[in-house]
Amino acid sequence: MKKNHIHIILCLILVAAPALSPRLFAQASKLRVNNEKPEKGNQVKRMHPHALKLILQGRKKEAIAYLEATSEKAVNPGHTKLLLNLAHEKPDAWKFDAKTWPWKRTLPNTSLKKDAPSEEFTIVFGGGAGYVPENERVWDTIGSIDPRALLLLGDNVYIDDPKTPEMQLFHYYRRQSQPEWSRLAAKVPIYGIWDDHDFTTNDGWGGPAVDEPKWKRAVWKIFRDNYDNPYYGGGEEQPGCWFDFWIGKVHFVLIDGRYYRESPKGKNPSMLGSAQMKWLKKTLKEPAAFTVFCTNVPMTPKVKPGSKDTWDGFDGERQQIFEFLAKEKIPGVIILSADRHRSDAYKIDTGIEGMYPLYEWQSSRLTNQHVHGLIKHSLFGYNAKQSFGRVDFNLRGDDPTVKYTVINIDGKAIHSMTVKRSELQF
């Protein structure tokens, strides 16, 4: 090839690159569907999903052999039998719907405790709740506290398969029919947002388009059918799982960090999208004793070293939120987050003159076996066992307080800290 031809081709590539790159970064991430065998990392939570995937692919003999070989693990024999019935094409087998699911399901009900006292109350929050039978007892531990509400902040189930509705239904139904969950959901209001593993695949994003890829709206509809939030984003015109609600004078604001997220490799990427950001700014301005900003991934810098999957990949938008709080002089903001498989606390210096420090409390190892290491710049951290965050509000007196306590699966209090309302104002 002649040199002038090579020069022309290189010029065309350079001219095209700026036009192609923004579009590429605005697309959804490539799916990395994960239904691997549990032998890889001993992931018990994926044993039945792997068998179900084989059945859906028409590999029924392989599914039967796999289920029979793993039956000795005794990971919910009832579910093993359900899948064997499917693989053997028994006429009364599950038909991938709620009617034929053979166990009673208990769905979230946020109307519970609507008349409970609101001057002093407790909420619990967390994430990272893959189905691990021996750790399902965490729901009973939470139930023993009898909180005013439970906030699930993402990775509430591990689906990792947004194109397959049957897989999504199985994961929701499986959790909802566990006795420990049922006891809790029957008496405590449960609110939920999603993260990567219950919306898309690991560290993935949906892109800015409402209906591209096509699986986004379908995943949203199934999510909506399995929670009882006050509303879901902007409804049919602007799907999402963001919403807000109040308990007394405490305002809870929960975001959707996946549906409209752009690639963190782009220029000034957005996690929220313009419609949600507009909603967020309007919602944060509502006066409250405390405003609890709940996000699926941590806001504190460098809590997932080397990764842009947290707000580190969206620093411009993160700073925009911090500057909005400062400009509007919004007091009393506390941050709750999930994603990292541990429980910890952070103090964020926004670098904005006159802005009070922001405290972030993170917890996301409700049931998961997998654990993430502790971070040196945290105020404290815990990852020895499964855990969750307990948050106690006391609005009595002239200076209301909010207290965060890390509670492990055995009900033991590990670390705690209290913040006064007077510490969170301009």
Task: Give whichever of 3-17, 29-43, 218-232 has the largest mean pLDDT.
Answer: 218-232
Mean pLDDT of 56-78: 92
Assess whether pLDDT exceeds 70 at residue 426: yes
Q: Are residues 176 and 281 in the same domain?
A: yes
What pLDDT is recorded for position 318? 98
Domain that holds residue 71: 31-93
Spatial neighbors of 312 by CB under 8 A, at least 6 apart, are: 301, 302, 304
Task: Provide the pLDDT confidence category of residue 71 given band limits of 50, 70 and 90.
Answer: confident
Q: Are residues 254 and 309 in the same domain?
A: yes
Q: Are residues 53 and 194 in the same domain?
A: no
Q: Are residues 172 and 301 in the same domain?
A: yes
Domain end, chosen from 49, 78, 93, is at 93
pLDDT in tens, 176-219: 999 999 999 999 999 999 999 999 999 999 999 999 999 999 99
Any domain includes 356: yes
CATH of the domain at 253: 3.60.21.70
Any domain includes 324: yes
Assess whether pLDDT exceeds 50 at residue 18: no
What pLDDT is recorded for position 270? 98
Between the two ends of the chain, the Cα-to-Cα distance in Å is: 67
What pLDDT is recorded for position 48? 95
pLDDT in tens, 311-361: 999 999 999 999 999 999 999 999 999 999 999 999 999 999 999 999 999
Q: Are residues 182 and 61 in the same domain?
A: no
Q: Are residues 261 and 327 in the same domain?
A: yes
Q: Are residues 59 and 162 in the same domain?
A: no
Any domain includes 102: no
Assess whether pLDDT exceeds 70 at residue 2: no
Domain end, chosen from 93, 110, 137, is at 93
Q: Provide the domain count of the chain.
A: 2
Mean pLDDT of 221-249: 98
Any domain includes 23: no
Taking the model in full, what pTM does it have? 0.94
Mean pLDDT of the chain: 94
pLDDT in tens, 361-378: 999 999 999 999 999 999
Domain end, chosen from 93, 112, 132, is at 93
Any domain includes 1: no
Assess whether pLDDT exceeds 60 at residue 19: no
Q: Are residues 43 and 156 in the same domain?
A: no
Task: Provide the pLDDT confidence category of residue 74 given band limits of 50, 70 and 90.
Answer: confident
pLDDT in tens, 119-163: 999 999 999 999 999 999 999 999 999 999 999 999 999 999 999
Any domain includes 11: no
Q: Are residues 223 and 267 in the same domain?
A: yes
Any domain includes 242: yes
Query: CA geometry: angle at 317 spanning 344 and 289, to 5°?
Result: 60
Q: Which residues pair with 361 in a beta bridge?
A: 336, 345
Q: Are residues 65 and 194 in the same domain?
A: no
Q: Are residues 147 and 48 in the same domain?
A: no
SS3 track for the chain: CCHHHHHHHHHHHHHHHHHHHHHHHCCCCCCCCCCCCCCCCCCHHHHHHHHHHHHHCCCHHHHHHHHHHHHHHCCCHHHHHHHHHHHCCCCCCCCCCCCCCCCCCCCCCCCCCCCCCCCEEEEEEECCCCCCHHHCCHHHHHHHHCCCEEEECCCCCCCCCCCCHHHHHHHHHHHHCCHHHHHHHCCCCEEECCCHHHHCCCCCCCCCCCCCCCHHHHHHHHHHHCCCCCCCCCHHHCCCCCEEEEECCEEEEECCCCCCCCCCCCCCCCCCCHHHHHHHHHHHCCCCCEEEEEECCCCCCCCCCCCCCCHHHHHHHHHHHHHHHHHCCCCCEEEEECCCCCEEEEEECCCCCCCCCEEEEEECECCCCCCCCCCCCCCEEECCCCEEEEEEEECCCCCCEEEEEEEECCCCEEEEEEEEHHHCCC
Q: Are residues 338 and 379 in the same domain?
A: yes
What pLDDT is recorded for position 43? 82
Any domain includes 160: yes
Residue whose C-alpha is closest to residue 415's, from 345, 367, 357 = 345
What pLDDT is recorded for position 37? 79
What pLDDT is recorded for position 5? 52
